[in-house]
A and B are shown apart, each in its own frame.
Chain A
């Protein structure tokens, strides 16, 4: 995303940069805001900018400066999200906060990045560093609109209309290159099909003129004609079927290969790429976009060329037979096309509406079905069913209307298209009567005109189908072309982990403009158990995500055994980390498969040992199929505690050097918690462990506790040290003690 726009000459001057001062960020805003003055802000504005240099924060409207702050005088600068808009607030070192700019959601991401950039400058100045040495904030997010044409980009970096189309087609061709044999076969069949189509009317003409019209034909001629026509028709049909089959096969293989590539790529890409997209979107790309391509190959690709060839040849033949008649009927076709075009929008609208209603209906149904218990317990069945009936009725009414329209419209269109042929027959008939044309020629002409006009209504769909295919391709290649941000480098290290961590001034935020952790620094010795404590939303889980390197830090660095985490090979790192999370995810499959997830080749003995260590062996034995019990969506129902223990077994099977426990024992009954706690205690011995827990009793055995508050480390030390300090931790322990005694 662009963070440095270019200003007009006059605006540059208004800025009056002095020597050596450069613009770091320059972003547009779109809402009128006259700083500090409380007036009705009710207008969009143009040519209004927020500009950050290494010394100042300036807002410009037109050629006029509307606000100016020296970064050295600022405590901090914030981009505050309001409702449907955002504002930039400057907190000066002295005095009250000041709002300097306002903008709609269109600019919020861009402004937030720029403000974050300004904030790093402010910080650098406060820490008496040279602001020029600060690294510029960059945004990896995509633009939402094409800069050239202003069209919305469907989550891609390139605009299909401006520069993507040919490139995508090229890529598509390269992909097709893998299936060259099949493509050649299809093209040959296409030519053959077109030839058969063209040949048929010629046979007809020859037969009519030379056998029927002049009365010289024999029964033998008749049989010959029937035979020839039969062979041509059957031959054409076989060709068509074979071609269709080939196209289906090609489409299926193409979409399969794309799907496989996509699936692999998505696995490789970092979580931040995935989190930046809506949950359903990637799924759509894997399933719907690849399906779109298959459908295109099956239904459009083959027909497209054969139809175009047939139509072109038909036109030529018609022109040869009689150009006058051809032009006449063409004129009519143009009229029909215009009519279709006129109705096209209407047709599109009514069916889109129907689709909207269907969507509404199904989401309503889903709502009610999943909320059934609530509906029933409040006794609102009547009302809900009435509401649903209303919606189905509305849907049925629209559907009825649409079907009626279609039932009337379609035959009329077909008829109108046929009228061209009638005209041809009339004028052709006149010519035949005059003797300037033979009957055979007329029949041939009529047949060709059928070839030409028949697919016309189908042709109107073509641009849409092609465009849809291109959009899908674009979206697919957008993912395929994405460079994994957390990719291993050639020099990435593989080594047996000891487990010493160092955090050096680590800052990170999921949205770059919203820091979750700031300036985290501490050391962890190998084999140490660290308890992470703090209110929810303070960034404990985020810290763990960083340790697992699901994300890369924005600033600072994390080292593992002296190596920067970014230089450690990912697979090697992950194979030596065991993770137990709060929400236990078990894959559909057997218990055995789930425990073996981290180490596919673990022996049964290892699996049982791990399960015993996790206190899971006992209950697994009691399930009907033991370790072969199927769990997952339609499988055996495990309780939360049981699932958790399987997850623990899964985590320790690998004998990991680093263990991560994120609320591993919350939401469990007392017995399960005890069993799991016991299992965990066995587990953490000798491994570097990071454990998050709300119940502080869980962290009894932690060597040190890190209290995280306000995005940073608030306290750090052993249980006793922190108690003596009488700080946040002390308060927490007391509160929990009193609460549990209160419960009794």
Chain B
């Protein structure tokens, strides 16, 4: 019966919750870090703009690159996951700088594809009008206008002088250092900080 389950029913894996064996296996697997190195993992760019991977005798047509500490340690503990909805972890890159240059580039490209959080360089204007604030800023993606609520959640502190601003669409903007702005710019942010 054991064999029957293992071989005959790959479907079971999709119902993990009920499948003790698969669950056990999975929770065992989660315990391991399965670190990726230049030797055991081969990344290749695909034509469609994604990454494919060969790792431990298995080939993945497309993998997802997930940062585990996107705000504080974006270059460490990068989780490489399968591209389907389950996004099962394939392995982890401990530190990006230990990888060869071209792998670093490839991973960074995918990070730039997956993550979007413009960094605000210059605050041109913040106008508040009946419950909304209308911002006009320069970001590393170019100049940008966006709208936030006036409530307390629009601008949150990420520690020290670092702030994150969320607009009404759900876009997030990073303000890396409040004190890098000029006094006039800071004055415009008075309402929030």
- Same complex for A and B? Answer yes
B68 lies within 8 A of chain A by Cβ:
no
- Chain A to chain B: the 6 pairs with minimum beta-carbon distance, closest first: A98-B48, A85-B116, A84-B116, A99-B49, A105-B170, A106-B169
Stretch at the interface among B1-9, B93-101, B175-183: B1-9
Complex Cα distance, B46 from A109, in Å, reads 27
Near B by CB (< 8 A), chain A positions 691-744 give 694, 709-710, 714, 726-728, 730-732, 734-736, 738-739, 742
Q: List 21 A-B contacts (CB under 8 A).
A: A33-B49, A35-B49, A38-B109, A39-B109, A42-B140, A43-B141, A83-B117, A84-B170, A84-B172, A85-B114, A96-B52, A97-B48, A99-B48, A99-B50, A104-B116, A108-B170, A359-B152, A709-B11, A709-B15, A728-B11, A731-B18
B45 lies within 8 A of chain A by Cβ:
yes
With A534-B15, A731-B5, A731-B15 as known contacts, state yes or no: A36 contacts B47, CB within 8 Å.
yes
Q: What is the chain B residue whose CB lies nearest that of A106? A: B169
A685 lies within 8 A of chain B by Cβ:
no
With A96-B52, A97-B48, A471-B131 as known contacts, state yes or no: A82 contacts B114, CB within 8 Å.
yes
List A contacts of B46 (CB < 8 A): 96-97
A535 lies within 8 A of chain B by Cβ:
yes
A715 vs chain B, min Cβ distance (A):
10
With A42-B112, A349-B190, A468-B130 as known contacts, state yes or no: A535 contacts B14, CB within 8 Å.
yes
Of A96, A353, A360, A467, which is within 8 A of B47 by CB?
A96
Of A38, A534, A734, which is within 8 A of B49 by CB?
A38
List A contacts of B61 (CB < 8 A): 96-97
A165 lies within 8 A of chain B by Cβ:
no
Are the CB atoms of B115 and A38 closer together than 8 Å? Answer: no
Complex Cα distance, B112 from A89, in Å, reads 16
List A contacts of B19 (CB < 8 A): 731-732, 735
Are the CB atoms of A84 and B21 closer together than 8 Å? Answer: no
Are the CB atoms of A83 and B70 closer together than 8 Å? Answer: yes
List B contacts of A464 (CB < 8 A): 130
Complex Cα distance, B19 from A709, in Å, reads 14
Are the CB atoms of A31 and B47 closer together than 8 Å? Answer: no
Quick one: CB contact mask for A42-54 with B, threshold 8 Å, 1 for yes? 1110000000000
Stretch at the interface among A144-152, A199-207, A406-414, A601-609: A144-152
Complex Cα distance, B130 from A467, in Å, reads 8
B37 lies within 8 A of chain A by Cβ:
no
Complex Cα distance, B12 from A732, in Å, reads 8
Q: What is the chain A residue whose CB lies nearest that of B150? A: A352
Near A by CB (< 8 A), chain B positions 6-54 give 8-9, 11-12, 14-21, 45-50, 52
Are the CB atoms of B9 and A96 closer together than 8 Å? Answer: no
List B contacts of A99 (CB < 8 A): 48-50, 113
Are the CB atoms of A731 and B20 closer together than 8 Å? Answer: no
Query: In the complex, how many residue pairs between chain A and chain B have their CB atoms under 8 Å apart?
Result: 158
With A31-B116, A36-B47, A97-B48 as known contacts, state yes or no: A43 contacts B142, CB within 8 Å.
yes
Are the CB atoms of B14 and A710 closer together than 8 Å? Answer: yes
Q: Chain A interface residue count: which class?
A: 35 or more
Of B5, B116, B169, which is within 8 A of A83 by CB?
B116
A436 lies within 8 A of chain B by Cβ:
no
Complex Cα distance, B18 from A536, in Å, reads 10
With A43-B142, A731-B15 as known contacts, state yes or no: A83 contacts B130, CB within 8 Å.
no
B52 vs chain A, min Cβ distance (A):
7
Are the CB atoms of B141 and A44 closer together than 8 Å? Answer: yes
Of B8, B142, B152, which is within 8 A of A726 by CB?
B8
B106 lies within 8 A of chain A by Cβ:
yes
Complex Cα distance, B14 from A714, in Å, reads 12
Q: What is the chain B residue whose CB lies nearest that of A358? A: B152
Are the CB atoms of B12 and A731 closer together than 8 Å? Answer: yes
List B contacts of A726 (CB < 8 A): 4, 8-9
A336 lies within 8 A of chain B by Cβ:
no
List A contacts of B114 (CB < 8 A): 82-83, 85
A736 vs chain B, min Cβ distance (A):
7
Q: Chain B interface residue count: which class?
A: 35 or more
Of B11, B70, B141, which is within 8 A of A731 by CB?
B11
List B contacts of A102 (CB < 8 A): 113
Complex Cα distance, B132 from A471, in Å, reads 12
Are the CB atoms of A535 and B140 closer together than 8 Å? Answer: no
Are the CB atoms of A41 and B171 closer together than 8 Å? Answer: no
The listed residue with most B CB atoms (<10 A of its CB), out of A38, A42, A43, A83, is A38
B168 lies within 8 A of chain A by Cβ:
yes
Complex Cα distance, B19 from A95, in Å, reads 33
List A contacts of B14 (CB < 8 A): 535, 709-710, 728
B150 vs chain A, min Cβ distance (A):
8
Q: What is the chain A residue whose CB lies nearest that of B152? A: A359
List B contacts of A82 (CB < 8 A): 113-116
- Beyond the given A467-B130, A726-B9, please list 20 additional residue pairs across the A-B interface where CB-CB is below 8 A: A31-B116, A42-B112, A82-B114, A83-B115, A84-B117, A84-B171, A85-B115, A96-B46, A98-B48, A99-B48, A104-B116, A104-B171, A105-B167, A106-B167, A152-B134, A154-B131, A154-B132, A535-B17, A728-B15, A732-B15
B158 lies within 8 A of chain A by Cβ:
no
List B contacts of A97 (CB < 8 A): 46, 48, 50, 61-62, 83
Are the CB atoms of A41 and B169 closer together than 8 Å? Answer: no
Q: What is the chain A residue whose CB lies nearest that of B8? A: A726
B161 lies within 8 A of chain A by Cβ:
no
B65 vs chain A, min Cβ distance (A):
10
A696 vs chain B, min Cβ distance (A):
9
B158 vs chain A, min Cβ distance (A):
15
